[in-house]
Structure 1
Amino acid sequence: MPDGIDFNDLSRRMDGAVNAFKHDLASLRTGRASANLLDPIHVEAYGSSMPISQVGTVSVPEPRMISVSIWDQSMVQAVDKAIRESNLGFNPIVDGNTLRIPLPELNEERRKELVKIAHQYAENARVAARHVRRDGMEQLKKAEKDGDISEDEHRQQSDRVQKMVDDRIKEIDKLLTTKEAEIMQV
C-alpha cells in the first residue's frame, strides 16, 4: 500500500482475536448448562479430530444437564472418552446413543480453576492482538524504508496502531472482569 498500511485489515485481525476470546469465554461454565460448554472438546472420529457437534446433537434439556445424542453407535465410547479426558470436569452417563452430562455445583476450588483458565484465554487474546501490532509496525518500517511514507507519517501511523491494540486489550480486560465475576458468583 503506497501510504503505509491497511488499518482495516489490522482492525479486522484484532477483532478476530477479541471474537475468539469471546468464544473461548462462552465455553467456560458458570453453573448453568449451555451447549457451548462442549465446544472446546474434539473427538477422534473417522481418522480425524472433530468437534462433538459434528458427531451428535448437543442439547440442554435441564438447567444443570447437557445431553449429547450421538448419530453413530460406534462413536459413543470415543465421545465419552473425549469428554472425560477434557479438563472441564464432566462425568457423562452413557444411555444407549445418548450421553447425559450432569453439571455438578461449582465449588470454590473449581471456580478458581475456571478463573485461571479465563485468564489464560485472555492472555492468548492479548498476545494475538500484539502479533497483529508487530505485523503492522513491520509494514510501517518497510514503507518508510522504501520511501512510501515519511518519518512523521510513520510515527503517526505507529501511534494509531498502538491505540488500536490498547483499545482491544481494554475490551479483553473488560470481558475478563465480567466473566470472572460471573464465575465467582455463588
Structure 2
Amino acid sequence: MQDDLTLIIDDAADSMKKAIGHLELELTKIRAGKANPQILDGIFVDYYGAPTALNQVANVSIADARTLTIQPWEKNMLQPIERAIIASNIGLNPQNDGIIIRLFLPPLTEERRKEFVKKANNEGEQAKVAIRNIRRDAIEAVKKLQKDGLSEDTAKDAEADIQQLTDKHIALIEKHCEVKEKEIMAV
C-alpha cells in the first residue's frame, strides 16, 4: 500500500517535470528580438520524401544579433528548406542567395512584443492546466487506494504532498513566464 502511494507521488512529480520541460521548449520557440536557432525547432523539411528536422539537413548558426544563417548540407535542399520555413508561419521571410539562406529578424514593435508576451503567458497557462490535471489524477489514485484500505490520515498526508508538489511546479511556471516576459520586453 505504501509502495503504491510512493509510486503515485513519484509518477506525479515525474509528469510535472515533463510539463515544465515542455513549457521551457515552447518558450524557447517564442522570439524575443534576438536571433536564436531554437526558433527553428519544430520545422520539418521534405528530405527525399521523409519529413526531417531542419537541423538534420542543414547547419543553423547565428550570423549576428538579428540574423540566422542556414547552410544546407546538400545544395538541392535550399528550395525545400525555404518552403518549410515559409509554411511554418514563424513570421520570418527567408533570403536565399543560392548558397545559404538568411533569416533577418526585424526589431520587434511594442505591439508585437505584447503579442509574444501574451503567447508566452498562454503557454504558461496551458502548463498550469497540465499540472493541475496531473494533481487531480494523482489525488483520484490516492482516493482509490483509500477505498482499498489505506488509512485516512495517510491518504490526507499524501494529498498534502501532492498539493505541495503542485504549488512548487506552478510557482516554477510563473517564474519561467516572468523571465520570458522580461526577455521579450527588453529593448
Q: TM-score, normalised by structure 2?
A: 0.89
The 8 Å contact of residues 14 and 129 in structure 1, kept in 2 or not, is answered as: yes
- Tell me what 1:160 maps to: 161
CA deviation vs aligned residue, 1:59-82 (integer Å, no higher than 9, x gap): 112111101112234432222122
Could you tell me how far apart the structure 1 residues matched to 2:19 and 2:49 are? 30
Deviation track 1:104-153 (CA, whole Å, cap 9, x = no partner) reads 11111211221121112112211221222122112212211111x21221
CA-CA distance at 1:103 after TM superposition: 0.9
**1: CA distance, partners of 2:35 / 2:90:** 13
Q: In the alignment, what sits opposite 2:84? A: 82
Aligned length: 185
Alpha-carbon distance in 2 for matches of 1:127, 1:43: 32
Q: Please name the residue that 1:53 is paired with.
A: 55
Query: Does the C-alpha gap of structure 1 residues 126 and 145 become closer, same or farther in structure 2, counting only changes over 3 Å?
Result: same
Tell me the residue number matched to 1:170: 171
Percentage of pairs with the same residue:
39
Which of 4, 10, 18 matches 2:12?
10
AA matched with 1:183 = I
What amino acid maps onto 2:25 in structure 1?
A: H
Task: Within 5 Å, give how 1:119-158 maps onto structure 2.
Answer: 119-147=121-149, 149-158=150-159
Counterpart mapping for 1:11-50 below 5 A: 11-50=13-52
- 5+ residue gaps, structure 1, are none
Looking at structure 2, the residues matched to 50 and 124 of structure 1 have their Cα atoms a distance apart, in angstroms, of: 27
In structure 1, what is the Cα distance between the partners aligned to 2:88 and 2:115?
Answer: 14
Tell which deviates more after alignment, 60-69 or 49-58. Answer: 49-58
Provide the rounded CA distance (Å) in 2 between the counterparts of 1:36 and 1:66. 11
Is residue 2:106 matched to residue 1:104?
A: yes
Give the Cα–Cα distance (whole angstroms) in 1 for the partners of residues 46 and 121 of structure 2.
Answer: 28
Q: 1:124 to 1:72 in 2, by over 3 A?
A: farther
Q: CA deviation at 1:47?
A: 3.9
| Post-superposition offset of 1:48 | 4.1
CA RMSD, aligned part only?
A: 1.8
Partner amino acid for 2:33?
G
Answer yes or no: is the 8 Å Cα contact 1:71–1:97 preserved in 2: no
Q: 1:49 to 1:124 in 2, by over 3 A?
A: farther
Deviations 1:148-170 (A, max 9, x none): x2122111111110111111111
Cα distance, 1:58 vs. partner? 0.9
